[in-house]
Each structure stands twice: as C-alpha cells, then as structure tokens.
Amino acid sequence: MITMKDIVREDNPILYKVAKEVDLPASKKEKETLKEMLTYLKNSQDDAIASKYGLRPGVGLAAPQIGLSKRMIAVHFQDLDGRQYSYGLINPKIVSHSVEKAFLTTGEGCLSVDRDIPGYVPRYSKITVKATDIEGNELKLRLKDYAAIVFQHEIDHLNGVMFFDHINKQDPFAIPENSHPIGQDEE
C-alpha cells in the first residue's frame, strides 16, 4: 500500500526530470503500480482510512512522485458539476488546448510539497488528452476547467514541472492574461 512515506518531496531530483514513456503493452508490474496509485487517491479521500494511515488527501498522483520516472498518472476526483473522474493513465499527452486559461482561486498544492505556496497557477482552460488506460484501451478525453487543471498538474509532473514554476514571482496573485477564475467566485 502506498502511504506518505513513499511520496518523494520537492528536494528530490526525480521530480525535475522528464519521465520515460512506458513501452506498450505495459507490464503487469506497471499496471499494478498504477492501480496502487489510484488506490492511494481513493484511500486518501476516505476520512477513516486517511486518518488511520496519515494520508494527505489528493485528487491526482504521478509516478515520479513515488520515485518512478515513468509516464503514468492516476486521477480520482469530482468536478464542480459533480462529474466523477477516475483513471489510471499511461503515456498521457495533451494533443490540443485552448488559448483561454483558468486558475484556481485557492491556488494549488502538491503531495510532494510540505508547505503552502500562495499564488495563481495559470492553466489551459480546455485540453484534449490522449492516453492508454490500465486495460490497454486508447482514450481521448476532452476536459475543461477544474478537470483540465488537475490533468495539467499531473502531466506537468511527467515533464519535471512543479505548480510553483507557473506562479508569477513578481506578483503571485496577478490575474493571468486571458484567464478566468475557478472556485468560490467563478462566473
């Protein structure tokens, strides 16, 4: 079972490397790891299990965050309209994106970062992602707003990019160009 002791922190160079493509079909071990990553997310969102094992709640997890430099991510969350997203994905790729951006009014956090880093993180408001799921099916997902933000946070981890890399250093709460807020005060 994956717990916080398995999660590498921001001082680990693996988080700043470009992760390797997974050869398809994925191995049994790679698929098991991806299932474990998804289980971490589900467990972390169950109050009883999370408090028993000291899990920080997470909506996504990328393989480099457990010390594995391979292009695999897991996501498990509901968007603001209540739509459930639960996927383990191999070699996810953003194949197109909007010009328009979006940002969470609360900023972002990361399981690999043990401190609050305030500021808006500009993301594309719409993306199309192609990936292979755990069963080996090719998927094409059209995502917007909150869902698009979560997927971009995870895919960034595969490219050695952290959420704080996107925050405006001069003015962390400057409204990004061409963007709309997501969260309490949206629309």
Interacting residues toward ligand SB7 by CB under 6 A = 58-62, 65, 104, 108-112, 149-150, 153-154, 157
Name the active-site residue from 30, 32, 154, 187: 154
Give the strand pairing for 84-97 and 72-78. Answer: antiparallel
- Which helix H or strand E contains 139, and what residues bound it? strand 138-144
Pull the structure tokens for residue 184: 């309490």
Query: Any known ligand binding at 97?
Result: no
110 belongs to an annotated ligand binding site: yes
Nearer to ligand SB7, 79 or 133 (CB): 79
180 known ligand binder = no
For ligand SB7, give the closer residue by CB, 134 or 158. 158
41 is a contact residue toward Ni ion (CB under 5 A): no
Amino acid letter, residue 143: L
- Minimum distance from residue 187 beta carbon to Ni ion (Å): 27
**Among 110, 129, 143, 167, contact with Ni ion (rule: CB under 5 A):** 110
Decide: 88 and 69 in contact? Cβ < 8 Å: no
Nearer residue to ligand SB7 within complex by CB, 58 or 88: 58
Cβ count within 10 A of residue 2: 21
Which residue shows structure tokens 């079972």?
1
Nearest alpha-carbon partner for 110 in 53, 168, 56: 56
Which of ligand SB7, Ni ion, none lies near 154, with the C-beta cut-off 5 to 8 A by kind? Answer: ligand SB7
∠ at Cα 17 (12, 18), nearest 5°? 150
Active site residue 154: yes
Q: Which residues contribute to the annotated binding site?
A: 110, 153, 157
For binding to Ni ion (CB under 5 A), which residues are involved?
Answer: 110
Query: Mind telling me the catalytic residues?
Result: 154
